[in-house]
Amino acid sequence: MVGKCIDLIKRSGLGTETDDVIAVFDADRNAPEEIESAVKTASNYGIKVYVSNPSFEFWLLLHFEDNRANCIQEEIEELLGRHLMTRYKKSEGINKHIDSEDIRTAVVRSRNILPSGDPVKCKAVSPSTCLHLLVEKIMKNNR
């Protein structure tokens, strides 16, 4: 993901002094050393990295429940499906089930699990996510 962001910066002329370039990825598919390397490389290009462990779906689940169980991906998707009252499918309409209060709740839950939001530490704390930092930044910029 970081490599794709670097390519995008080079091709598009984005400037990280004026534009925010971010990479969001799952910890379950990356070794701790890979995440640490990605964060270092990203930092050299002004790219911010946000990680969810084990996956982005854990961040979504925090909108509905304060879950700290170390679940595998299938269990997280099952739990999401229970809240959605339909089988969870990636990128299929979950936004219509989440309102601004749910987002604020997920931010608090995420911050309680991993206050630092350190993407490298996120790999060691399962489950966790540092997406609260990104969402807080977006919410602050939209005020």
pLDDT tens readout for residues 29-79: 899 999 999 999 999 999 999 999 999 999 999 999 999 999 999 999 999
Determine contact, residues 32/123, Cβ cutoff 8 Å. yes
Sign of CA dihedral 135, 136, 140, 143: positive
pLDDT of 16 higher than 80? no
The tokens describing 70, both together, are 């170390």
pTM of the model: 0.91
Domain boundaries, the chain: 2-141
